[in-house]
Amino acid sequence: MMARQCTVCAHRKLNAIDEALVAGESMAGLAKRYKLSRDALRRHRDSHLPEVMVKSEEAQQTARGDSLIDQLKALQTRAHNIAMKAEKEGDLRAALAGIRELVRIVELLGKLQGELESGGPVVNVSINAEWVEIRAVVLSALAPYPDARQAVAKALSAKTGGAS
């Protein structure tokens, strides 16, 4: 039995869909606009989008990949600013959501730039300046909640090999 082809990869507006996914447009809006299911968009984003972006070094996709990297870097700056503003305003849920989004963006940037590859070299994010800053923001925001702070610190330590 042959595997089904990704309906998003086969779509004539693939480039526009990929750019919209990277920009964080809503799945519902994209599904309606391009007559695709949200599940197909989600599967494409999770399985094929990073693969396409990593291959952006190929001549045909270089300009597109560079554009997506620039867009991701702009989104990274916006997400960082929003997370910092939310923390300053004491909105810890929004601050943590912003941090989660930053982690996702940093991971996608790493994949795009070839720094993170499945089965490839391991990148030690625990020494990355951005990660150190994000980790400090999270733990600082949780200071009034010692149990939650300890649980997050323990989880971060487990995920980063003890360097939380």
**Spatial separation of the C-alpha atoms in residues 150 and 101, rounded to whole Å:** 22
Identify whether residues 110 and 64 lie together within a single domain.
yes
Show Cβ contacts of residue 161 under 8 Å, excluding neighbours closer than 6 positions: 124, 126
Show Cβ contacts of residue 83 under 8 Å, excluding neighbours closer than 6 positions: 94, 95, 97, 98, 99, 101, 102, 137
| Angle in degrees, CA 46, 58, 117, rounded to 5 | 40
Taking only the tens place, the pLDDT of each residue in 32-43 is 999 999 999 988
Identify whether residues 108 and 95 lie together within a single domain.
yes
As a whole-number percent, the residues of the chain with pLDDT over 70 amount to 71
Identify whether residues 66 and 107 lie together within a single domain.
yes
User: What's the domain range around 150?
Assistant: 124-164
Q: Which two tokens stand for residue 124?
A: 């030690």
Taking only the tens place, the pLDDT of each residue in 7-23 is 988 899 988 888 888 77
Identify whether residues 145 and 104 lie together within a single domain.
no
| Position 6 in a domain | yes
| Position 111 in a domain | yes
As a whole-number percent, the residues of the chain with pLDDT over 90 amount to 10
Identify whether residues 153 and 102 lie together within a single domain.
no
Identify whether residues 105 and 75 lie together within a single domain.
yes
Identify whether residues 66 and 117 lie together within a single domain.
yes
DSSP state of 115: S
pTM: 0.34
**Spatial separation of the C-alpha atoms in residues 110 and 112, rounded to whole Å:** 5
Number of domains in the chain: 3
Identify whether residues 103 and 138 lie together within a single domain.
no
| Position 52 in a domain | no
Taking only the tens place, the pLDDT of each residue in 119-144 is 555 555 555 667 777 777 777 777 77
Identify whether residues 76 and 105 lie together within a single domain.
yes
